[in-house]
Structure 1
């Protein structure tokens, strides 16, 4: 008899490689339903992974843009400091 304090079903754990394979299958054009059935996971779980992956990609793109802007601003500041130093010496 199952204890009332413990769940009777165990939650499966999926590693990064498993999730990556699922996302690859989706990227190759298979439907969520096909991949879910093939991997024995729920459609909702695949949608969750897909959404999280999309969010991560957007975050990485945003970080890249911020890094590029930071480098541009550093170069601009360096030029302004050099111009100021030249004007001080003149």
Structure 2
């Protein structure tokens, strides 16, 4: 009778896990896309998000008001950060364009 050909369990460093979480939280990947990118199960990514960045778990349909409010706060904060970065890049572009003339 053949044995179960299961692969040995892989162990990932915390740095690897945090990088995978950043794909979802900072780069905009879906959990499935991030899982495919780093060759792990989507369930692993979800677990790592809970472990390293619980605030980044998107609220789903039927979520409580508290979860939706927390997600709204998180998204507003992320939007402000993105707008600030965009403004800095605009100013830098204008400065370097003026310098090169």
Larger Rg: 1
Bigger helix share: 1
